[in-house]
Every structure is written in structure tokens, then in C-alpha cells.
């Protein structure tokens, strides 16, 4: 970065209109050619990202996950500020040049597991390492682009394997269009970490047996894909 | 489209690309980075912040969520191998792996300290660059890194990890 005066993070702030008027003025006067080139690179990446990500769909998804008390005028006040700044950014971003598609598409055949916990106002998506109280109600979303067979297995801190989603112990047919699995479970009182495994295969499989393989940390074989998420259970 | 939705979309357009780049650089996974971006907006909005820079708050949330994701990966790796195999297994030189090392060694640190640590140890910023990027004084960054170093040394000793590799800043440019 010898010919750069600004770090990437500073240039990101500039791109997001987070600079104060003084910082903005300083940038205009003292940014090097390398700084400006990096700004242009990031700007193009941003344009390509927004084309691929569908900002409207993302906004809908975010709004559906907000607690109701935040959806109203109180919530609009801070957003109006950033939105007004953003208006300037859109003009700035509106380059006539079409850009190549970014490499953000999900690879074919990839499996993803999302776990949601019920809250007073709806639900919240869990991230790896989140904690939640015992007896919380959770539901699962399993995403794959192929039809096949799916199951959800959990292993808790006492190394107990539970098959949360299946028909008996067998994996059940899976359709990509129905990624939200028709099951909601209430966690038990066992405290500590619990790992949920989403399992998928193009052919039927025994979920209980696969759970035992996971517990023993043995490889599952090439036919079965897994995605996992670990949460902590507290009182 | 409702005004609320318009505002959310504007906020998303303004900040999501940056949050995505940041998360992707730490996680190395497009899907996980998209999840972190969406979750960052939800947490930011549900918290109802009315003060401070939206950029700074969103950026910090995204960094913390990314590091949390990495801790989940580290924990899984940790459980599936002998603890003494962990250091050499984890540190192979890539940015993501440096971030995983940092995630392992900084558990329990404050959010602000974590943000400084990521820029210094993972992105390879100098202390001056960290200070300029976060609007902090050089002295404040130095003090924070001293606290972080003490924390890292304690955890590294417990895990049998050579923290000097991380302290050197694996990606200093």
C-alpha cells in the first residue's frame, strides 16, 4: 500500500457516504491515483453485488424478520437520514457501463441449514454460537437445489442423538421449492452446546444411523451431504 | 411499497456491499457472508439505534457475527481433533485462517477491541492505519492492542498455541 494514502476501510466509508464534509474534502484533495483506483474497483463490485443480490427482495426478507415495535415512525427517523445520504450514492453509482456478473451464485448441489427460534414477535434466525434458553421452540429450513431425501439430526452436550425431522428414522423426500421443513421442536432441558445437522442425499437413508456416524465422528460417505449449526442452551 | 420498506432497501443498497465484502473476506464463504449481511441489518434495526454512524454500527455487527461464525467452525474443529494439533492445523497462512486463529484467541474480548484486532492482525493494517480507519487516536489503538495481546497470550498458553505467529500480523502488506 505504499502509494495509497487511504486504507480499504476508509475507502469503504467514503463509498458508504460515512465521511464527514471535512473528510470528504480532504479525500478529494489528497487521495492518490491508487486510492481512486481502489474506490472505483469497490464501487464496481458494489454495483455488481446489488444487481445480483436483489436489494428489494433482501429488504422484504429483513423487514419480515423485524420485531413489530421497530416498524414505525420511530424506526423511520434514523433510516430517513441514511436514506437521504444514500440517494446521493445512487446517483454516483449509476454508471452506464454494465458489469460482469459477480461470483456470488450458490454452487449447484450445495446444502445449507438455517435454524429459527420462536420469539414473542415472530422468529429469529440463529447464527453459529448463538445461545438460547432451554425449551425454546425452533424450526428448520434446509436449502438444496435438487430433489432428494432430507433429515435433521441434533447432538447435544451429553452426546445424545435426536432425529428431529424424518419419518420414523428414515429421511423423508425433499423438494427444493419447500425448503422450510414442516416441523417445529421444543428443545429439552439439557444445557450446553447442541449441534443441528441438516442431511441430504439423492437416495433414501437411515437418519438414525447417520446420527450415530456423526456422533462417532466417522465419515458419512459420498452420498450424504451435511450442513450444521451449533447453539448453546442456557437456563 | 411502504415507506419502511423503501427505507430498508435504501439502507441495504448503501451498506450491504461493504458488509458483504467484509464478511466474505473473513469467512471465505459466499453463503455465510450473505447470512451475516442480512442478520446484521436485522440486529441493527431491532436494536433501534438512533445515535452514531450507521456504517460504524453495521460494520461492527458484521465483524462480530463473522467472528462468531468462525468460532463455531473452530469449536467444531476443536472437538474433532486433539487439542495440541490445533495450532499447526489452524494456521496455514490465508486470511480466513488467520481470522479463525483470531476468533479462537479473542473469545471474551469487547466488540471494540475485536474490531481493532481484526484490522491489525487479519488485515495487516499498521497501528496508524487502524487509528485512521476507526477514527481513534494512535495511542488508543496501541493501548487496545496491548490489552488484546495480554488476552491472546493467556488463551494461547491455555490452548498450546504459538501466539507470536498471529501477533506478527500474517497479512501485513
Say which residue the cell 475507502 belongs to.
A11
Check: CB of residue A117 under 8 Å from CB of residue A136: yes
pLDDT at residue A102 in the model: 27
The residue among B2 and A131 whose pLDDT is bigger is A131
CB contact under 8 A, A8 and B12: no
Q: Which residue has the cell 493467556?
A: B154
Q: Which residue in chain B has the smallest CA separation from A39? A: B18
Closest-CA distance of chain A to residue B60, Å: 12
| Residue A68's pLDDT band (cuts 50, 70, 90) | low
- The whole-angstrom distance between B135's CA and the closest CA on chain A is 10
In the stretch 75-134 of chain B, residues with CB closer than 8 A to chain A read: 75-76, 80, 119, 123, 125, 129, 132-134
Instruction: Render pLDDT for A141-191 as a digit per residue (tens, 0 to 9).
Output: 999 988 888 999 999 888 888 888 886 778 888 888 888 888 888 888 888
CA A69 to chain CA mean position, Å: 23
**Strands A131-133, A224-234: pairing kind:** parallel
Whether residue A105 is predicted with pLDDT greater than 50 in this model: the reply is no
A70: exposed, middle or buried (C-beta count within 10 Å: 0-12, 13-18, 19+)? middle
Relative orientation angle of helices B54-79 and B3-27, to the nearest 10 degrees: 40
pTM here is 0.59
Tell me which chain B residue has its CA closest to the CA of residue A61. B38
Q: Which run of H or of E encompasses A182? A: strand A180-186
- Residue A9's contacts (CB-CB under 8 Å, 6 or more residues apart) are B119, B123, B125, B133, B134
> Residues B131, B23, B51, CA angle at the centre, nearest 5°?
55
Task: Provide the shortest C-alpha distance from residue B42 to chain A (in Å).
Answer: 6
Instruction: Specify the 3-state DSSP secondary structure of A203.
Output: coil
pLDDT for residue A137 is more than 60: yes
Instruction: Express each pLDDT in A3-51 by its tens digit.
Output: 899 999 999 999 998 888 889 899 999 999 999 999 999 999 999 999 8
Closest CA to A211 of A173, A168, A174, A162: A162
Evaluate if residue B82 carries a pLDDT over 60: no
What average pLDDT does this structure show over B14-36? 93
| ipTM of the modeled complex | 0.80
Cβ-Cβ pairs closer than 8 A, A with B, add up to 161
- In chain A the first and final C-alpha atoms are separated, in Å, by 50
Whole-number percent of chain B with pLDDT over 90 = 25
Cβ atoms of B58 and B42 closer than 8 Å: no
Task: Please provide residue A191's backbone torsions phi and psi, each rounded to the nearest 5 degrees.
Answer: -85, 165
Cα B36 to Cα B42: distance, rounded to the nearest angstrom: 10
Q: Between residues B111 and A164, which one has the greater pLDDT?
A: A164
Amino acid at each position: 500500500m505504499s502509494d495509497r494514502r487511504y486504507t480499504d476501510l476508509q475507502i469503504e466509508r467514503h463509498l458508504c457516504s460515512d465521511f464527514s464534509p471535512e473528510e470528504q474534502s480532504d479525500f478529494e484533495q489528497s487521495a492518490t491515483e491508487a486510492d481512486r483506483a481502489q474506490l472505483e474497483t469497490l464501487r464496481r463490485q458494489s454495483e455488481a453485488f446489488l444487481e445480483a443480490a436483489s436489494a428489494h427482495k433482501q429488504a422484504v426478507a429483513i423487514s419480515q424478520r423485524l420485531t413489530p415495535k421497530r416498524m414505525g415512525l420511530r424506526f423511520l427517523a434514523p433510516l430517513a437520514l441514511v436514506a437521504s445520504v444514500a440517494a446521493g450514492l445512487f446517483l454516483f453509482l449509476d454508471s452506464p457501463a454494465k458489469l460482469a456478473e459477480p461470483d456470488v451464485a450458490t454452487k449447484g448441489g450445495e446444502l445449507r441449514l438455517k435454524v429459527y427460534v420462536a420469539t414473542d414477535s415472530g422468529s429469529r434466525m440463529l447464527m453459529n454460537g448463538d445461545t438460547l434458553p432451554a425449551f425454546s421452540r425452533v424450526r428448520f429450513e434446509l436449502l438444496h437445489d435438487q430433489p432428494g431425501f432430507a433429515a435433521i439430526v441434533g447432538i447435544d452436550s451429553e452426546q445424545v442423538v435426536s432425529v428431529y425431522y424424518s419419518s420414523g428414522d428414515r429421511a423423508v423426500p425433499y423438494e427444493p421449492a419447500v425448503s422450510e421443513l414442516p416441523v417445529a421442536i421444543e428443545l429439552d432441558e439439557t444445557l450446553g452446546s447442541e449441534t443441528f445437522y441438516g442431511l441430504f442425499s439423492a437416495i433414501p437413508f437411515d437418519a438414525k444411523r447417520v446420527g450415530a456416524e456423526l456422533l462417532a465422528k466417522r465419515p458419512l460417505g459420498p452420498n450424504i451431504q451435511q450442513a450444521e449449526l451449533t447453539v448453546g442452551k442456557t437456563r | 411499497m411502504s415507506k419502511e420498506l423503501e427505507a430498508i432497501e435504501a439502507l441495504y443498497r448503501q451498506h450491504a456491499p461493504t458488509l458483504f465484502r467484509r464478511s466474505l473476506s473473513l469467512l471465505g464463504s459466499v453463503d455465510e457472508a450473505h447470512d451475516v449481511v442480512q442478520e446484521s441489518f436485522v440486529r441493527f434495526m431491532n436494536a433501534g439505534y438512533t445515535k452514531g454512524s450507521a456504517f460504524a454500527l453495521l460494520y461492527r455487527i458484521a465483524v462480530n457475527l463473522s467472528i462468531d461464525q468462525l468460532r463455531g467452525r473452530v469449536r467444531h474443529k476443536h472437538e474433532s481433533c486433539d487439542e495440541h494439533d490445533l495450532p499447526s492445523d489452524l494456521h496455514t497462512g490465508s486470511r480466513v485462517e488467520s481470522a479463525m486463529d483470531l476468533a479462537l484467541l479473542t473469545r471474551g474480548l469487547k466488540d471494540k477491541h475485536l474490531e481493532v484486532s481484526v484490522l491489525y492482525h487479519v488485515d495487516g493494517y499498521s497501528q496508524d492505519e487502524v487509528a485512521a480507519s476507526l477514527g481513534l487516536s494512535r495511542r488508543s489503538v496501541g493501548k487496545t492492542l496491548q490489552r488484546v495481546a495480554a488476552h491472546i497470550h493467556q488463551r494461547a498458553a491455555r490452548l498450546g498455541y504459538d501466539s507470536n505467529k498471529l501477533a506478527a500480523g500474517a497479512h501485513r502488506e
